[in-house]
Amino acid sequence: MRIGLEIHLQLPTASKLFCSCSTSGNGRNTSICPTCLGFPGSRPRLNRRALEIGIQISKFLECKIADTTWFSRKTYFYPDLPKNFQITQYDSPLGVDGRFHVGDKIIRIMRVHLEEDPGRIKRVGKSGEEVSLIDYNRSGVPLVEIVTAPDIASPTEARDFMTDILIELRHLVGLSGKDEQTVRVDANISVGEERVEIKNILGLKNLERGLSFEASRQAKLIKAGKRIIRETRHFDEERKVTISARGKETEEDYGYIAEPDLGIFNVGEMARTMVPVETPLKMAARLASKYAIDRATSRQIVMTSRTLADLFERLCGTIPPEVAAAWILGPLSSNRDLLENRKGDTLACDIERVLQAVVSGEMTDSEARLKINALGKGESVDIAAEGTEDGQLRELVVACIDENPEILSDFKTNRRVANFVIGQIIRTTKGKYASSEIVEAVNKEIERRLRKEQS
């Protein structure tokens, strides 16, 4: 099975692609001007920010970026498009021949280009007496279109690809958090020879459903010895089926011509000087290979919070990565809101010292957990392990465990064996220490030895 996707995403700019109208107009037809309504004599001017974001996305997707780029008019007549052509990019996309990794697989990116959104049509009224209302607030809103090669092998993989690319793009250019429901995708899918396009699928769930339905429809036709027709279909969200829409137009049907009002843009220099950003999944991949932790763990750390991921890296400087990962995903992640609010070097430094004390066996896990909770709340905490324990008491504990080494292995299945040591020490010290002090000293010593055994 071969699946290719065309993804349309709205770029997070304040104004439209070719005029200064706001992209967030309230009501209907409130954010419009002669340019985005296509009045004769009006002239488009390119939004520089949209161009920058487009280049940033192309660069991130490892595309080849030419030195110059221009726009084209895609001619078609429809009421949502009053100037009778859409300004898009045809023979000069921003980026070509890129790629994106999903796990170990590479999905090739054919092209990345900018285009304007048309208006929105709403049909109202009784059947047979319907009228169409048009809202042009959307008209001219900047979109980026990302086209993949048909490298995706299943509907699930298509969804994984979309999930991952949105995580990255959201971080890279600040797409809105709602894009998973609002992202619009055209998908082409071929189970046999002929490919079928499904237009205008909204959201990732529908994408997976639409593709699954279409895959089984095509498989059934092939099995029955019937021909699959090359066509465009729509996904019906209610009935969860795809429905034939029209014969597929070829690109020539649109009569593309170069857009004369915008000119040519030198983007090569812009692309070369742009500083690459480390996106979440790239960071996760780097952490996994640098610190030899598994991919799922590193992804979980990065996706939980960037602050925690940075803290994890810092901790790996002084404590074993697997210990750092366990604390990051455990006690530290349950304190993450507090940690986010108290970003700062002192806090990270305090946490690091607490965990170092755990690793060296000076502090028990539960003691460290209490200290971390207190640090998260912003309380002042004495970082040193509660080393008030008498040196003499520790010596007694060490001697007693040395004499009974089987306790260590028994302790793993039955923590109560510690009571044997505790009892012995209570007897020999005859009330010199509080029993809680003895219990703590014994547990601490056993845990320290077990940790040492593991590492």
- Residues at the contact surface with Zn ion, assessed by CB under 5 A: 19, 21, 33, 35-36
Minimum CB distance to Zn ion smaller for 35 or for 232? 35
Minimum CB distance to Zn ion smaller for 50 or for 110? 50
Judge contact between 18 and 42, C-beta under 8 A. Answer: no
Minimum CB distance to Zn ion smaller for 33 or for 338? 33
Burial level of 180, CB count in 10 A (0-12/13-18/19+)?
Answer: middle
Minimum CB distance to Zn ion smaller for 137 or for 218? 137
Could you tell me the smallest distance in angstroms from the CB atom of residue 32 to Zn ion? 6
The angle at the Cα of 81, spanning 80 to 82, to the nearest 5 degrees, equals 110
Could you tell me the smallest distance in angstroms from the CB atom of residue 35 to Zn ion? 5
Strand partners, 115: 143
Minimum CB distance to Zn ion smaller for 35 or for 86? 35
Could you tell me the smallest distance in angstroms from the CB atom of residue 55 to Zn ion? 23
Minimum CB distance to Zn ion smaller for 134 or for 303? 134
Could you tell me the smallest distance in angstroms from the CB atom of residue 370 to Zn ion? 59
Minimum CB distance to Zn ion smaller for 19 or for 189? 19
Minimum CB distance to Zn ion smaller for 21 or for 311? 21
Minimum CB distance to Zn ion smaller for 73 or for 448? 73
Could you tell me the smallest distance in angstroms from the CB atom of residue 296 to Zn ion? 47
Could you tell me the smallest distance in angstroms from the CB atom of residue 86 to Zn ion? 15
The angle at the Cα of 155, spanning 149 to 159, to the nearest 5 degrees, equals 80
Could you tell me the smallest distance in angstroms from the CB atom of residue 27 to Zn ion? 15
Minimum CB distance to Zn ion smaller for 73 or for 159? 73
Could you tell me the smallest distance in angstroms from the CB atom of residue 112 to Zn ion? 24
Judge contact between 158 and 204, C-beta under 8 A. Answer: no
Q: Which residues, at least 6 apart from 136, have a Cβ–Cβ distance to it below 8 Å? A: 29, 32, 36, 37, 82, 119
In whole angstroms, give the CA distance from residue 358 to residue 319: 10
HEC readout, the chain? CEEEEEEEEECCCCECCCCCCECCCCCCCCCCCCCCCCCCCCCCCCCHHHHHHHHHHHHHCCCEECCEECCEEEECCCCCCCCCEEEECCCCCCEEEEEEEECCEEEEEEEEEEEECCCEEEEECCCCCCEEEEECCCCCCEEEEEEECCCECCHHHHHHHHHHHHHHHHHHHCCCCCHHHHCEEEEEEECCCCCEEEEEEECHHHHHHHHHHHHHHHHHHHHCCCCCCCEEEEEECCCCEEEEEEECCCHHHHCCEECCCCCCEECHHHHHHCCCCCCHHHHHHHHHHHHCCCHHHHHHHHHHCHHHHHHHHHHHCCCCHHHHHHHHHHHHHHCHHHHHHCCCHHHHHHHHHHHHHHHCCCCCHHHHHHHHHHHHCCCCCCCCCCCCCCHHHHHHHHHHHHHCCHHHHHHHHCHHHHHHHHHHHHHHHCCCCCHHHHHHHHHHHHHHHHHHHHC
Could you tell me the smallest distance in angstroms from the CB atom of residue 25 to Zn ion? 10
Could you tell me the smallest distance in angstroms from the CB atom of residue 132 to Zn ion? 21
Minimum CB distance to Zn ion smaller for 27 or for 225? 27
Could you tell me the smallest distance in angstroms from the CB atom of residue 241 to Zn ion? 38
Could you tell me the smallest distance in angstroms from the CB atom of residue 42 to Zn ion? 9
Strands 231-236 and 196-202: parallel
Minimum CB distance to Zn ion smaller for 36 or for 152? 36
